[in-house]
Amino acid sequence: MWLAAIQLVSGRHWQDNKAQIAAELAALPPQRPLLALLPENFALFGERQGYLDGAEPLGDGPIQRQLADWAKTHGIWLVAGAMPTTIAGSEHIHTSSLVFDPAGDLQGHYHKIHLFDVDVADNHGRYRESETFSPGESPVLVDSPFGPLGLSICYDLRFPELYRRLTRAGARVLLVPAAFTAVTGEAHWEPLLRARAIENQCYVIAANQGGTHETGRQTWGHSMVIDPWGRVLACQPSGAGTVLAQMDAGLTEELKRTMPVLQHARLL
């Protein structure tokens, strides 16, 4: 079994981003089963109005139809890191992760719980996702041949309680699509990812945006796959590209047997 994190430098327009994604998918190796993760804002990376205009109802729309077609054409599990989805009767939208199986069927979705309302010392400065997005309410697991997939998005990474809940519910692979800024990414991206892998004894697939975007925002890149011991198996420092690593499903079970930290936890 193979795990892939696809790193992009997405822009405002879906058609441009679509071509970039198609090129990365076409270059995937033939090994199957394969799980590929796209980053946050893979389809649209811009400002508030662009997300509102491009949002689709869950389960329908040109972006989702393309995702389903890619999954089916390439015979892969494709996780759409995060894209805008509409909320009936609301002026706000969700930012949502969608999981497609090799038949092109939508197997599950997750709405980002923790919204990035933060001031960062970069050229963007002020981030207020709550002005556009409404938070999700519930952690989500999706069954797959790789084991249950624990879904999350970007800023969720700073909240370990989410991942512990996913792991206690059975997660074996934790997915972290992101658009981590260059400033916060350089300081915290890899330490947080490795901590989530180690403390939960799970594989982590982290697909980040990785470069300077047409909006002027700078993202950190360093998309990676990490094993349950906390080892970085593959990493893409910057620019578009795909990192690939083989999954040893037995490693998780071995660690849970030899170092049963979840059984030993006393503060739940």
> Both tokens of residue 85?
């989805």
The one-letter amino acid at 202: C
Report the chain's terminal Cα–Cα distance, integer Å: 32
Catalytic residue among 40, 56, 129, 202: 40
- Could you tell me if 209 and 39 are in contact, meaning their C-beta atoms sit under 8 angstroms apart? yes
**223-226 and 232-236 beta bridge pairing:** antiparallel
The answer to whether 235 is a known catalytic residue is: no
Active site residue 154: yes
Catalytic entry in 56, 129, 154, 202: 154
Could you count the other beta carbons within 10 Å of the beta carbon of residue 19? 9
- 63 CB-near residues (< 8 Å, 6+ apart): 14, 43, 54, 56, 80, 83
Q: Which of 56, 112, 129, 202 is catalytic?
A: 112
243, 4 contact by CB (below 8 A)? yes
Residues catalogued as catalytic: 40, 112, 154
